[in-house]
Protein backbone atom coordinates (compact mmCIF):
# COMPACT_ATOMS: atom_id res chain seq x y z
CA UNK A 1 0.00 0.00 0.00
CA UNK A 2 1.24 3.53 -0.70
CA UNK A 3 3.70 4.83 0.38
CA UNK A 4 6.33 2.12 0.72
CA UNK A 5 9.37 2.64 2.97
CA UNK A 6 12.62 0.78 2.65
CA UNK A 7 13.54 0.23 6.28
CA UNK A 8 17.13 -0.63 5.31
CA UNK A 9 17.87 2.77 3.81
CA UNK A 10 15.44 4.96 5.78
CA UNK A 11 17.47 7.25 8.07
CA UNK A 12 14.50 7.79 10.45
CA UNK A 13 14.51 11.57 10.05
CA UNK A 14 10.67 11.73 10.15
CA UNK A 15 10.53 14.39 7.43
CA UNK A 16 7.72 12.50 5.66
CA UNK A 17 5.82 12.19 8.94
CA UNK A 18 6.10 15.95 9.49
CA UNK A 19 4.75 17.07 6.17
CA UNK A 20 2.08 14.55 5.07
CA UNK A 21 -1.14 16.52 4.59
CA UNK A 22 -3.31 13.48 5.31
CA UNK A 23 -1.18 12.25 8.21
CA UNK A 24 -1.07 8.70 6.85
CA UNK A 25 1.92 8.12 9.17
CA UNK A 26 -0.19 8.93 12.24
CA UNK A 27 1.34 7.50 15.40
CA UNK A 28 4.87 7.21 13.99
CA UNK A 29 7.55 8.02 16.53
CA UNK A 30 10.56 10.26 16.05
CA UNK A 31 13.74 8.27 15.55
CA UNK A 32 11.95 5.20 14.20
CA UNK A 33 11.12 4.01 10.71
CA UNK A 34 7.69 5.57 10.02
CA UNK A 35 4.61 3.36 10.04
CA UNK A 36 2.05 3.79 7.26
CA UNK A 37 -0.94 3.67 9.58
CA UNK A 38 -3.60 4.91 7.15
CA UNK A 39 -2.47 3.82 3.67
CA UNK A 40 -5.91 4.29 2.12
CA UNK A 41 -5.85 7.96 3.00
CA UNK A 42 -2.78 8.61 0.83
CA UNK A 43 -3.69 11.12 -1.90
CA UNK A 44 -0.53 10.48 -3.94
CA UNK A 45 0.85 13.99 -4.04
CA UNK A 46 4.44 12.81 -3.61
CA UNK A 47 5.25 15.19 -0.76
CA UNK A 48 6.89 12.40 1.23
CA UNK A 49 8.99 11.28 -1.72
CA UNK A 50 10.07 14.83 -2.48
CA UNK A 51 11.26 15.62 1.07
CA UNK A 52 13.04 12.33 1.65
CA UNK A 53 16.79 12.95 1.83
CA UNK A 54 17.64 9.41 0.68
CA UNK A 55 16.61 8.68 -2.90
CA UNK A 56 14.55 5.51 -2.99
CA UNK A 57 13.99 5.19 0.77
CA UNK A 58 10.33 6.02 0.25
CA UNK A 59 8.25 5.62 -2.87
CA UNK A 60 4.59 5.62 -3.79
CA UNK A 61 2.94 2.46 -4.93
CA UNK A 62 0.09 3.65 -7.12
CA UNK A 63 -2.89 1.47 -6.21
CA UNK A 64 -4.64 -0.64 -8.85
CA UNK A 65 -7.81 1.48 -8.99
CA UNK A 66 -5.71 4.57 -9.83
CA UNK A 67 -3.69 3.15 -12.73
CA UNK A 68 -3.75 5.35 -15.83
CA UNK A 69 -5.75 4.11 -18.80
CA UNK A 70 -3.78 4.57 -22.01
CA UNK A 71 -3.70 3.19 -25.52
CA UNK A 72 -0.82 1.04 -26.73
CA UNK A 73 1.07 2.67 -29.56
CA UNK A 74 -0.12 1.17 -32.83
CA UNK A 75 2.52 -0.10 -35.26
CA UNK A 76 2.93 2.32 -38.13
CA UNK A 77 2.37 0.64 -41.47
Partner 1 sequence: MIEERMETDVLCIGGGIAGLMAAIRAAEAGASVVVAEKGNVEYSGCGRMGNDHFETHIPEVHGPDREAWIEELLRTAKGEILIGKDLLRTQFLRAYDIVKLWDDWGIPMKYKGRWEFSGHSFPGRPMTHVKYEGRFQKKILAKEARKRGVTIFNRVMMRDLVCNGSRVIGAVGTHTREDKLFVFEAKAVVLGTGKCSRLYPPLTPGWLSNDPHGGSQSGDGRAMAYRAGAMLQNLEMPQRHIGPKYFTRFGQATWVGVVKDRDGRPAGTFVTKPDRRYGDMICEVNKLAPEQYTNAGKGPLYMDCTDIRDEDHAYMMHWMENEGYTAMTEYMAAEGISFKKHPIEFATYPLRGGGLIVADENAKTSMDGLYAAGDEAFGDISAAATFGYISGENAAAYIRVIGKKNIEKDNPVITETRRLIDELRGHENGPDWEETSVALQQTMSDYGGKIRNAALLKQGLQHLRRIRSKARNTLMAKNPHETTRCLEVLNLMELGELTFLMALNRKETRGLHNRPDYPFTDPTLNQAQVIRKIEDKAILDWKPY
**Smallest distance, Å, CB 33 to partner 1?**
18
**Smallest distance, Å, CB 59 to partner 1?**
8
Say which residues have a Cβ less than 8 Å from residue 52's Cβ, sequence separation at least 6.
15, 16, 58
- Name residues contacting partner 1, limited to 8-47 (CB under 8 A): 18-23, 26-27, 37-38, 40-47
Interface contacts to partner 1, rule CB under 8 A: 18-23, 26-27, 37-38, 40-47, 49-51, 60, 62-63, 65-73
Amino acid sequence: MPPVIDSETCIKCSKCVEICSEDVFYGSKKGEVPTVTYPRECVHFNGCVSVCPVPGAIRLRIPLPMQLVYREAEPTS
